[in-house]
Amino acid sequence: MFTSTSDPSTAAPVPQSTAALRLLDVHKSYPGPVGAVAALRGVSLTLPAGSFTAVMGPSGSGKSTLLHCAAGLDTPTSGRVIVGDRDISALKPDDLTRFRRDHVGFVFQAYNLVPHLSVADNVRLPMILAGRDADPRWLEDLLDAVGLDGKADRRPGELSGGQAQRVAIARALYSRPTVVFADEPTGALDARTGEAVLTLLRDTARRLGQTVVVVTHDAKVAAAADQVLFLSDGRLVDMLTSPTAQAVADRMLGLER
C-alpha cells in the first residue's frame, strides 16, 4: 500500500531536501501466468540535485521499470517515490499527470516527435497541452544550446537521427524539470552521434542545474555519469562513483556471470 495523506488528491510535501529524487523501499510486480512476477524488489536510493546518474544491469534486471516508476510513468506496487519535496506516491492519476508535466522530463529512445509539428512546436508541446504560455526567449536559448539554432521551423522528417534526438532532449528540458530521465538515449544512434548527444544532454543539463538519470547498456555512456547504479533481479546491488568505462564493463561482467 502507498503512504498517503488524508486527502489523496494531492501529495503531501515532505521535508525540504537537497535530493532531487528519492525511492524508499520501492517494489513493483506484474501479473504472470503462475503468479506475480517481481520487477523491483525493495529499491531505495537518493540522488542529489544536479547529479548525473546512469542505471545499468543485465536484461530483465528492472532498469526500465525503475526509470518508469521514478518518473511517475508507472505505479509502484508499494514504496514511495519522492521528486524534489513532493511524495508522488499518493497522487491521483490526473494530479500525477500535471505534476509530471511540470517537474519531470523524459527522453524516449524512439523520440516520440509529432511528425506534422515543427521543431519549435514539438519542444513546446507539453507546455501547450498544459495551457501554459511558452517563453520565446527560453525556446531560442534552448534550441541554440542543443545545436538546433536555425531549425525551429523544420519538421521531424527533415532531421537526422541525431537532430531528432536533440529535439527530444530540448523538449525534456523545456519545462525546467526537477529530474530528466532518459531511456537508452543513444541506443538508436551511431557511435559518433551518440557520443555527441550524450555530451549535449550531460553538459546542457548541468548548465541548467538539472538532475539526469539515464538507463543504458553502454559502458561508455555510463562512464560519463557521476555515479552508476547496478541492478540485478530487481535489486540495487552495487554502485560505482567516478566511473570509467573499464570499471563499468568489469562490474557488468560480474553481474552477467
| List of domains in the chain | 19-256 (3.40.50.300)
Question: What's the CA gap between 76 and 134, in Å, rounded?
Answer: 33
Q: Give the residues of the chain that fall short of pLDDT 70.
A: 1-17, 133-134, 188
- Angle, helix 119-129 to helix 161-174, in steps of 10 degrees: 30
Q: Model confidence over 154-177: pLDDT tens digits? A: 999 999 888 888 898 889 888 888
Beta bridge partners of 26: 43
Predicted pLDDT at 17 = 57
